[in-house]
């Protein structure tokens, strides 16, 4: 899918969330846009990473990404 996106000169952000929202709040969501040819051997499934690997990738992503963002919502905001 990203190949098609880059061919059409569009950017696509990868996004994921964690949390239970109104059931147990808060919800944390993150999105990142990586450069077209970005690759890193450890970058795959965050659930399979060690804490050390996640911390390493956090710094690499912040330095190498086109853009990144993190958002947090508590249950009151979600329930509105």
* Mean pLDDT for the stretch of residues 5-18: 68
| DSSP codes joined into one string, 41-74 | TT-S-GGGS-HHHHHHHHHHHHHH-SEEEEEEE-
Q: Does residue 22 lie within any of the structural domains? A: yes
Q: Does residue 2 lie within any of the structural domains? A: no
Q: Does residue 5 lie within any of the structural domains? A: no
Q: Does residue 73 lie within any of the structural domains? A: yes
Q: Does residue 48 lie within any of the structural domains? A: yes
Q: Is the dihedral of CA 8, 40, 47, 52 positive or negative?
A: negative
* Per-residue CA distances from 34 to 11, 27, 61 (Å): 9, 23, 8
pLDDT for 13-54, tens place per residue? 777 777 665 566 688 888 888 888 888 888 877 778 899 998
* Mean pLDDT for the stretch of residues 66-80: 84
**pTM of the entire structure?**
0.67
Domain count within the chain: 1
pLDDT value of residue 14: 73
Domain that holds residue 61: 11-79
pLDDT bracket for residue 1 (50, 70, 90): very low
| Distance, first Cα to last Cα, the chain | 34
């Amino acid at each position: 899918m990203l190949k098609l996106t880059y061919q059409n000169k569009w950017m696509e952000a990868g996004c994921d969330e964690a949390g239970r929202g109104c059931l147990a709040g808060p919800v944390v969501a993150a999105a990142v846009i990586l450069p077209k040819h970005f690759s890193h051997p450890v970058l795959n499934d965050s659930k399979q990473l060690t804490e050390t690997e996640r911390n390493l990738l956090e710094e690499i992503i912040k330095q190498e990404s086109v853009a990144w963002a993190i958002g947090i919502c508590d249950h009151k905001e979600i329930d509105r």
